[in-house]
Amino acid sequence: MNAARPLPGAPHVHYRGNELYVEDVRIADAARAHGTPLFLYSKASMLAALAAYQRGFAGRQAKVFYALKANSSLGVLQVFARAGCGFDIVSGGELERVLAAGGRPADIIFSGVGKTRREMRRALDAGIHCFNVESEAELDVLSEVAQEAGTKAPVSLRVNPDVDPKTHPYISTGLKGNKFGIAHRDALRVYRHAASLPGIRVVGIDCHIGSQITEAGPYMDAMERILDLVAAVESAGIPLAHIDFGGGLGISYNGEQPPAADALWKQLLELLDARGYGQRQLMAEPGRSLVGNAGVCVTEVLYLKPGEQKNFCIVDAAMNDLPRPAMYQAYHAVVPVTASEATASSYDVVGPVCESGDWIARDRSLAVQPGHLLAVLSAGAYCMSMASNYNTRGRPAEVLVDGAAMHVIREREDTADQLRREKLLP
């Protein structure tokens, strides 16, 4: 057998000879069995990414809470639940997904700026670990809901430290102009208010500054500001049982070199130790860094359309399947499923959706013909979790790869699935 040639940033996606594989599954075989567009996820890749966090936390009171907004498919959640992860949720629907996948309520953190009373009550009844509260108004409502339920809501305040994560503005969450969290300057006052409310039990502090962060510096700056606040809050007589530093660690889409999770946490723990907080209960909420490079979207070339200024490679995947390029102008590597020595041309890879924003990749050198298969890499995060049925397109199937085995974790949608809950007029 030819030696495997891993692709940059995706060690479990590799060529053997001219054929692209995910673990021990030949992608062309998966596409033949399950059709395209198709999402394939490497279980080994997910567990390897998780292991880096677990190594970084070794010997500490620490727990990883997977941020399932990155990819909330039940089969993916099962992988992390069985590996001992908790879960960071941002909606009542995500709560039900975690429970359906076998997650424990006591291992759930509820984040998000707009929790409803119904969602709060359901989470309290389930017995979740805590709420990450993002505003003073939310605190007051949560206290009322908890009193009605005859309990106290465990609360961690999400503090906005006003630190620039140096990422895309749409995924920056820790600056003054972002909607998330409680301003650093207001946090001590809001903690005092929280401690005074009859339906609130203060248990910790939370910070999350953004997503796809590729440098350690913003994390270090945020930690310094948060630890200053921990000292001030506890000096005011409000103990904080845990410190939660959120997630946001980036992955390699286009040659980025973010720190490895264990290396990042080595730096953060050194700072924690120096400030005297190293033995505190610690939490992290990674999402993209656990699943992003585990995923591949397989798509078939439909047509080649030459033009005066651009050549277009039209494929059967679209912005409803892979929203990141349309939303963030995001880069995904695109490679042939079967490598060829034929002469390559420059193409924009675009989908069938009736929008100019429906593009997957721009100015890519590809040797392709109609019927060929392409693999869009690093598609495990914020693709299927944000996918839609725009243009009445069914969402793709999802398959979890475990060695040579393939497990269908989401069946392909057809039009009947989409019409099932709609009603004609009488």
Residue from 384, 418, 216, 391 nearest 298 by CA: 384
Q: How many CB atoms lie within 10 A of CB 325?
A: 21
Q: Is 354 a catalytic residue?
A: yes
Catalytic residue of the set 130, 297, 354, 383: 354
Of 361, 359, 365, the closest CA to residue 326 belongs to 359
Q: What are phi and psi of 147, to 5 degrees?
A: -60, -40
Q: Residues 65, 86: contact at Cβ < 8 Å?
A: yes
- Helix (H) and strand (E) counts in the chain: 12, 22
- Is 328 flagged in the annotation as binding? yes
DSSP string, 169-221: GGGB-SSTTSSSSEEGGGHHHHHHHHHH-TTEEEEEEE---BSSB--SHHHHH
Tell whether residue 287 is among the known ligand binding residues: yes
Which 3 state secondary structure label does DSSP give 409? strand
> Is there a binding annotation on residue 277?
no
How far apart, in whole angstroms, are the C-alpha atoms of residue 223 and residue 313?
46
Tell me whether residue 395 is annotated as binding. Answer: no
Cα(207)–Cα(159) distance, rounded to whole angstroms?
5
288 is in an annotated binding site: yes
Per DSSP (E only), the strands in 285-404 are 295-305, 312-315, 334-336, 345-350, 359-366, 373-376, 397-402
The rounded distance, in Å, linking the Cα atoms of 319 and 144 is 42
Is 355 a known ligand-binding residue?
yes
Could you tell me the end-to-end alpha-carbon distance of the chain, in angstroms, rounded to an integer?
63
Instruction: Please state, in angstroms and rounded to a whole number, the distance separating the CA atoms of residues 49 and 52.
Output: 5
Residue 170 assigned to a binding site: no
Going by the annotation, the residues of the binding site for pyridoxal 5'-phosphate are: 248, 285-288, 382
- Residues annotated as catalytic are 354
Residue ranges for the binding site for substrate? 288, 324, 328, 355, 382
Annotated binding site: 248, 285-288, 324, 328, 355, 382
